[in-house]
Amino acid sequence: MSHATPNSALSLVALQVGNTRTKLGLFKDGALERSVRFENEALAPIVEEATRMWAELDDCELTAIVVASVNEQVAAPLREMLGDQLGEEIYRIGDSMPVPIGTCLDPSTTPGTDRLLNAAAAFELLQSACILVDCGTCVTVDFVDGEGVFHGGAIAPGARMQLDAMHHGTSQLPAVTLARPVGDPWGSNTQDAMIRGVYHGIRGLVWRLVEQYAERFGGFPPVIATGGDTELIFGDDELIDRIVPDLTLLGIRAAARAALLPDDAANAPTASRAELGALGTDWANFDDADDASGDGGDCGCGHKH
């Protein structure tokens, strides 16, 4: 990586290794150019795509490769393969590169890197309290206060995990593919009944948790959603203010900026309100700060809300 100056813009190949899939993001001069997702078993194609992305950064002044992972069995060989292929330092979130977000958690708790990255990205963009919903292998619903402090949240089995558990944990329930329910609110066959139970169960779970968080906070902060199943489950749900599929990749960018750029460059806004529309959502008209200004009381960890 070349030397950073106050005017440097970081170009980045970011890899987000999840429990079942790995997502890669190409950032050029700080902006997300594209992202692509692979099943975790496809290590060779992942390395090939990362190599292609890295080659696209040849003309960029300041570059880095960063891996974030909640699945070390996949991430460890992937980092080794990338190092051998590219001959570059592979930065690791949580090790050589901390996540730039404060926490208010039990001392012995180590939250998942993906949850912290989502929190860092959302607060960097919004600069306000928010609730984060991630629908993937698991469903997480987390709270970040108005000072950018991550308070934790709730974790539940994801949709596919629930369907698999019903199939493997019983003698008669079939294997079912996740889909959005259509037609009557009740399922007229076993498959439809399973899908409705999982689909509406997750929506109801998230609604109830958001209500509890808002009650404790003293106002309804914006609800941001991400994860592979989010569009299917929450695409038509009025509870969700914005769906940002690449939120975790944006968190990797935030961590890389904080670690690799000079303080004045790292603390500079990554995008203006008008430019945030490039994320594929209407961030430019997202007037959340004034609407989510509840006093919320004292959480007991010394941070005001």
Q: What is the C-alpha separation between 84 and 86, in angstroms, rounded? A: 6
Instruction: Look at residue 265 in the predicted model and tell me its pLDDT.
Output: 53
* Cα gap 13→66, rounded to integer Å: 6
The per-residue pLDDT of the chain, averaged, comes to 88
Question: Mind listing the pLDDT tens digit for each residue in 239-284?
Answer: 999 999 999 999 999 999 999 997 755 555 444 343 344 444 444 4
What's the confidence (pLDDT) of residue 85? 95
Please identify which of the residues 58, 59, 95, 114 carries the catalytic annotation: 114
pLDDT of residue 293: 43
- The β-bridge partners of 156 are 139
Between the alpha carbon of residue 183 and those of residues 53, 55, 221, 222, the distances in Å are 44, 49, 33, 31
Do residues 121 and 250 touch, judged by C-beta distance below 8 A? yes
The yes-or-no answer on residue 114 being catalytic is: yes
The confidence score (pLDDT) of residue 86 equals 95
Range 198-204 average pLDDT: 98
Domains of the chain with CATH codes: 1-92 (3.30.420.40), 99-305 (3.30.420.40)
pLDDT of the residue at 267: 56
- Residue 303 confidence (pLDDT) above 90: no
The pLDDT score that the predictor gives to residue 302 is 54
Residue 266: strand, helix, or coil: helix
Question: Once rounded to an integer, what is the mean pLDDT over residues 132-157?
Answer: 97
For residue 290, the one-letter residue type is: D
Share of the chain above pLDDT 90, in %: 80
User: Of all helices (H) and strands (E), which one includes residue 209?
Assistant: helix 190-217
Q: Which tens digit of pLDDT belongs to each residue from 206-247? A: 999 999 999 999 999 999 999 999 999 999 999 999 999 999
pLDDT over threshold 90, residue 289: no
Cα dihedral 67/73/77/83 (nearest 10) = 20
Q: Which pLDDT value is given to residue 6?
A: 45
The percentage of residues in the chain with a pLDDT greater than 70, rounded to a whole number, is 84
Residues in the chain: 305
pLDDT tens track for 51-102: 999 999 999 999 999 999 999 999 999 999 999 999 999 999 987 799 999 9
pLDDT range class, residue 199, cuts 50, 70, 90: very high
